Amino acid sequence: MAYRFLGESGLKVSEVVYGNWLTHGSQVENDTATACVRAALDAGITSFDTADVYADGVAESVLGAALRGEPRESLEIFTKVYFPVGRRGPNDTGLSRKHIREGIDGSLRRLGVDYVDLYQAHRFDHETPLEETIQAFADVVRQGKALYIGVSEWTEQELREGQELARQAGFRIVSNQPQYSMLWRVIESRVVPASRVVGISQIVWSPMAQGVLSGKYLPGQAPPAGSRATDDKGGDVMIKGYLRDEVLAAVQGLRPIADGLGITMPQLAIAWVLANDNVSAALVGATRPEQIAENVKALEVRLTPEVLIAIDHALGGPDSELIERDPARTKSPSHRLGGVR
Ligand code: NDP
């Protein structure tokens, strides 16, 4: 396993992080979830990403149970706050002082730990003053409940303002968690340049476009049994946007590139995001231990500029309509649930 620093902090995270969105407490049974966590540990993964909202709190409990007994200092545990868990009251969403304070306590209880390594704003909250949010995060850090603070899907402007306020409050935002893959590049034009300036790195979600870049979904054919596209607990809805024949056909064009490098398509997809030096880690999901063993081998490959060009060519060239690049696609809900200002 290789490790990279998170932003300008002293915290190192594994280049592949195992994330449990849509899987633990939902698509996979608990014994499979535990087997995947064990496979991740065996492969040298030390960093694990979850969120309070995943499976309505259950994903944190399943991950916490699977990690129990591991030396705490050998793990980096990440979770998030913003979306409601269980209750849908007016203060159960967002980044108010109240929700952050109650959110961290709920996450620690479900995970069964005294602190998380990284606590992330799951989205930007347009209805809470940013000063209030940043002060609430500063309190969480001072109380020792989280060691580092990150955010997710923040725009370049939100990152700049948040970092300035965090600096004034005595801590740093170390990471942003955006979607990023060969097919979804919206962070490249604004978020990444701004992040470099303010000392934030990216830990990127869905690097395999939810499994689509593994090449297992074929145009004109039914999805393979047991895949996310067949998960009627919500995975099928989440992945739907990628399951278009023109996308799936182009993705098949990546296969000869992977073959030429002697690697698999999942490994190519993960190596691609890690080729961006503002990316600290690829957050990878898995429903089977074998997938994890395969995916971490991506770290043995470093893609050359020629390979990166060949990938772009296979996906339709630099202006391909199959690749989403619009920075406006980085966004957070404009309103929280259940409240009017
Ligand atoms: P990926 O793009 O890595 O997709 C993972 C899925 O692809 C797996 O669950 C599996 O699904 C399939 N897969 C994995 N490995 C292989 C393989 N070797 N061969 C074939 N199929 C494979 O990422 P996710 O979409 O799962 O997201 C990863 C993490 O990112 C999440 O767990 C979460 O931590 C984070 N995230 C954060 C968000 C945010 O808003 N901040 C939003 C979404 C995710 P299957 O077997 O079912 O086909």
Q: DSSP for 234-294, please give it.
A: THHHHHGGG--HHHHHHHHTTHHHHHHHT--HHHHHHHHHHTSTTEEEEEE--SSHHHHHH
CA gap 334, 336 in Å, rounded: 7
Q: What pLDDT shows up at residue 338?
A: 56
Residue nearest to atom 26 of ligand 1 (CA): 285
Which residues is 179 bridged to in the sheet? 205
For ligand 1, what atom is nearest to the CA of residue 49? 34
By the 8 A CB rule, do 192 and 216 touch?
Answer: no
For ligand 1, what atom is nearest to the CA of residue 20? 32
Residue nearest to atom 10 of ligand 1 (CA): 286
Q: What pLDDT shows up at residue 331?
A: 87
By the 8 A CB rule, do 211 and 275 touch?
Answer: no
| 326 alpha carbon – ligand 1 mean position (Å) | 22
| 143 alpha carbon – ligand 1 mean position (Å) | 32
Instruction: Give φ, ψ of 105 to 5 degrees.
Output: -65, -40
For ligand 1, what atom is nearest to the CA of residue 295? 18
Other C-beta atoms lying within 10 Å of the C-beta of residue 169: 18
Residue nearest to atom 20 of ligand 1 (CA): 214
| 210 alpha carbon – ligand 1 mean position (Å) | 5
Rg of the chain in Å (alpha carbons): 19
By the 8 A CB rule, do 333 and 84 touch?
Answer: no
Q: What pLDDT shows up at residue 337?
A: 67
Instruction: Give φ, ψ of 116 to 5 degrees.
Output: -105, 155
Q: What pLDDT shows up at residue 153?
A: 98
CATH class of 3-329: alpha beta
- The tens place of each residue's pLDDT in the chain, 341 residues long, gives 999 999 999 999 999 999 999 999 999 999 999 999 999 999 999 999 999 999 999 999 999 999 999 999 999 999 999 999 998 899 999 999 999 999 999 999 999 999 999 999 999 999 999 999 999 999 999 999 999 999 999 999 999 999 999 999 999 999 999 999 999 999 999 999 999 999 999 999 999 999 999 999 999 999 999 999 999 999 999 999 999 999 999 999 999 999 999 999 999 999 999 999 999 999 999 999 999 999 999 999 999 999 999 999 999 998 999 999 999 999 899 887 655 55
By the 8 A CB rule, do 279 and 196 touch?
Answer: no
* Top mutation candidate among 287, 288, 292, 329 for ligand 1, by most atoms within 8 Å of CB: 287
| 341 alpha carbon – ligand 1 mean position (Å) | 36
* Top mutation candidate among 83, 177, 291 for ligand 1, by most atoms within 8 Å of CB: 291
pTM of the model: 0.98
Other C-beta atoms lying within 10 Å of the C-beta of residue 87: 10
Residue nearest to atom 8 of ligand 1 (CA): 286
Residue nearest to atom 13 of ligand 1 (CA): 211
Residue nearest to atom 21 of ligand 1 (CA): 211
3-state secondary structure of 148: strand
**Residues in the ligand 1 pocket, defined by CB under 6 Å:** 19-21, 23, 49, 122, 152-153, 177, 205-211, 214, 216, 227-228, 266, 283-287, 291, 294-295
What amino acid positions are annotated as catalytic residues? 54
Of 337, 282, 341, the C-alpha closest to 53 is 337
For ligand 1, what atom is nearest to the CA of residue 123? 40
| 97 alpha carbon – ligand 1 mean position (Å) | 31
CA gap 76, 86 in Å, rounded: 26
Burial class (CB in 10 A: 0-12, 13-18, 19+), 246: exposed
Going by the DSSP 8-state scheme, the letter that residue 324 receives in this structure is B
